[in-house]
Amino acid sequence: MKQIHLIAPSGASLDTSTPLAGIQWLISQGVEVLNAACMSRVHQRFAGEDAERLSEINALATLPPNITVMAMRGGYGLHRLLPKIHWDAIAKNIQNGLQICGHSDFTAFELAMLTKTGAVTLAGPMLNFDFAFQEDQGKGVTPNALMWKQFKTAITERRLEFTVKAVQSYLGRPPKESLSGILWGGNLTVLTGLVGTPYLPDLEKTKGGILFLEDVNEHPYRIERMLMQLLDAGILANQGAVLLGGFSAYRLYDHDRGYDLDAAIELIRSRLPSHIPILTGLPFGHQSEKLTLPVGARAHIEFDQTGFHIQSKW
C-alpha cells in the first residue's frame, strides 16, 4: 500500500489538527496521502457543497486502480448524494483493483454500491478517528495496532481472518456451528434509514448472509427499535447469522431501571428464529480496535459458546 486517496463525502472536519495528525502518521509509515485538500472544505455541516462532494465521489471512476480510497470521516451527507452517483463506472474501477474504505455514514455508499452493482467495498478505518484521534488535551493517540495490521492485510492480500474469544450468550439453537454467506452491514442507524429505498440489498441478495451491525451514541432502546424494524421487515430472519460489533458512547438513565443493551439483545433473540445465531464481540464500530470487513464478499464463520472465527477472501 503506497498511496491513499482521501475523500470527504459526509461531515466537515471539526478541526484541522486531527486530519493533519492522521496524514503525518500515514506518511511516517511510508504512505503517500493524496487529495488532502478535501479535509479543509466546509459548507454548513458538510465537507463541501453537495456538488463538490458528488464530483469527488464520481471521480473515483477515473483514479488509478492501484490506489486505496479512504473516507476522511462520517457524520451525515452521503444519503443526499446517492441518486447521482455513477455506480457502474466506479464499480468497473473496483473490478480493476480499486479499494474503497470507510464506515459510519459511509455505510450508505457501501450498501448502495452492493445493491446497484455487487461490487465489494471495505468497511474499515477512516482518517480522522482511526489514524488521528485526539485526546481531550489535543494529544495524538497512536493508531490501534490490530486495526492497522488488519487494514494492511485487507489492502495488500484481500483477506480477512480473525478469531473472537468471547462468551456467546445469544447463540440460540443453530443446527450446526459453521456457515457461509455474503458479508454485509455496517452502521445500524444508516442501514435502517435505507430500508424501503433502492439502496439496500434485497432479501434475495442477502438470503443466508452474515449481517454485521454497530452504532454510536444510541441508547439501547433506540438500538432495540431499529433492530425490531429490521426484524419486522424480514431482514434479520433472512440471515444466516447476525454479528454485533461495538455499541458505544451511550448513557443509561435512572429511569431505565435495569434496562440495558443486554436486555435489548435478549428481546431480539427471543423473537428471532432460534436457528439464526447472534454473535457478539466483533471488533468493529466507532472504536479504535476494528477489523476491515469486505462488504459484499463471501465469508465463512465457525462458532460455539466460547467465540467465533471469521474468514473471507475477495
pLDDT tens by residue, the chain, 314 residues:
899 999 999 999 988 888 999 999 999 999 999 999 999 999 999 999 999 999 999 999 999 999 999 999 999 999 999 999 999 999 999 999 999 999 999 999 999 999 999 999 999 999 998 998 655 555 667 899 999 999 999 999 999 999 999 999 999 999 999 999 999 999 999 999 999 999 999 999 999 999 999 999 999 999 999 999 999 999 999 999 999 999 999 999 999 999 999 999 999 999 999 999 999 999 999 999 999 999 999 999 999 999 999 999 99
Output the CA–CA distances (angstroms, integers) from residue 136 to 34, 133, 140, 141, 216, in the order listed. Answer: 28, 10, 10, 11, 19
Q: How far apart are CA 49 and CA 277, in angstroms?
A: 43
What is the reported pLDDT for 138?
A: 54
158-313 CATH choice from 3.30.70.100, 3.40.50.720, 3.30.70.1520, 3.50.30.60: 3.50.30.60
Question: Does the annotation count 104 as an active-site position?
Answer: yes
Domain extent listing, the chain:
3-143, 158-313
3-143 CATH choice from 2.40.10.10, 3.40.50.10740, 3.40.630.30, 3.40.50.150: 3.40.50.10740
* pTM of the shown model: 0.97
**Cell matching residue 171:** 447463540
Question: Does the annotation count 169 as an active-site position?
Answer: no
- Which residue in the list 13, 79, 110, 214 is annotated as catalytic? 214
Burial 3-13 (b: 16+ CB within 10 A, else e): ebbbbbbbbbb
Q: How far apart are CA 295 and CA 314, in angstroms?
A: 10
What is the reported pLDDT for 156?
A: 98
Among candidate residues 11, 1, 58, the one with its CA nearest the CA of residue 34: 1
The bridge status of strand 210-216 relative to strand 178-187 is parallel
Burial 61-97 (b: 16+ CB within 10 A, else e): bebeeebbbbbbbbbbbbbebbeebebeebbebbeee
Q: How far apart are CA 280 and CA 171, in angstroms?
A: 9
Q: How far apart are CA 234 and CA 202, in angstroms?
A: 10
- Which residue in the list 110, 219, 286, 312 is annotated as catalytic? 286
Q: Listing from the earlier edge strand, what are the strands of the sheet with 210-216? A: 159-165, 307-313, 298-304, 178-187, 210-216, 241-248, 278-280
Q: How far apart are CA 226 and CA 191, in angstroms?
A: 9
Q: How far apart are CA 177 and CA 37, in angstroms?
A: 48
- Which residue in the list 104, 110, 219, 312 is annotated as catalytic? 104
